[in-house]
Amino acid sequence: MAINLWIGRFLIVHLENPVVSEHETVSATIEHEDELPEDHPRYQDLLTRHRIETGVEKGITHLQGMHAEGRGSAFDYLLGEETIPSARKAERAAAAHLLLADHPVLSINGNVAALVPGEMVDLAAAVDADLEINLFNRTPERMQAIADHLREHGATDVKGLEADARIPNLDHQRAKVDEDGIYEADVVVVPLEDGDRAEALEAMGKTEIVIDLNPLSRSPQVAEIPIVDNIIRAVPNMTEHALTLADADTDELRAIVESFDREQALEAAEARIRGGL
């Protein structure tokens, strides 16, 4: 709560003294992200907003996802809208963890499907992981829409539709998982995750890799590898590291994992946010 209030005060101060740019406005009638000016000082923010809006229109993203994206955008603004060094180390450790895993799974919710569908497919291919849809606002129509969307971006097998197992101690729809997917996974990537499911997965003994722009959120607090970065940067970075480490032996991968300091990563992210670039 304290950091959220602090962020609000910080943004108010900066909004009262705006920086004028040649791109003061962007047309509200943009139909495709290619129309966004890449030299805009907040291009990544415009891109994520456009993808979330398009996701809502397609029935992929729930309206609540727009609120979540706005909250994340504020944190990313304070991070300087770039991958900070501690996040890059976390992304490399995450790639090593996934390459070491026996059964890695990448969890997909509505925002993830809207923001990085092809990127998640690429990461899954790089680390030989399954893709599994998992939603809080779960309907057959949304599940199918997201599965179709992922297939349009190159996925060949999408889990989550069977929902023949449940995560213990969760009463809502996110408890529903595939037995041969998240339920049996040893390493799970849970981007933009609900804190209660992250805690429930930890209780099951899963190794969790969480992508979240708020280092004080419950999800990164319970993750073995917390990545405090925008998902549109984090996932391609993880894929890049995975491809670089593809020929590394087990000892090298374990050394990367063991050298990662999760507490230091969370502290560095919080310090950067409080510093408020």
CA distance linking residue 242 with residue 95, whole number of Å: 5
In the prediction, which pLDDT does 18 show?
A: 43
Q: Is the pLDDT score of 56 beyond 90?
A: no
Listed residue (89, 2, 51) closest to 192, CA to CA: 51
In the prediction, which pLDDT does 212 show?
A: 95
Q: Is the pLDDT score of 145 beyond 50?
A: yes
Q: Is the pLDDT score of 68 beyond 90?
A: no
SS3 (DSSP) at 168: coil
pTM for the full model? 0.82
* 161 or 34: which leads in pLDDT: 161
Specify the CATH class of 85-275 in words: alpha beta
pLDDT exceeding 70 applies to what percent of the chain? 78
The tokens for 188 are 């799970």
Domain ranges of the chain: 85-275
In the prediction, which pLDDT does 19 show?
A: 41
CA distance linking residue 231 with residue 13, whole number of Å: 27
Q: Give whole-number Cα distances, 87 to 90, 115, 243, in Å.
A: 5, 19, 18
Q: What is the dihedral of CA 276, 233, 227, 97, to 10 degrees?
A: -160
59: left (phi over 0), alpha (psi -120 to 50) or beta: left
Q: Give whole-number Cα distances, 31 to 48, 53, 116, 142, in Å.
A: 14, 10, 18, 22
The whole-number average pLDDT for the span 110-138 is: 95
Residues 189-207 pLDDT 10s: 999 877 888 999 999 999 9
For residues 34 and 50, the answer to whether their CB atoms sit within 8 Å is no
* 216 or 39: which leads in pLDDT: 216
CA distance linking residue 49 with residue 45, whole number of Å: 6
CA distance linking residue 96 with residue 204, whole number of Å: 21
Residues 228-256 pLDDT 10s: 999 999 999 999 999 999 999 999 999 99
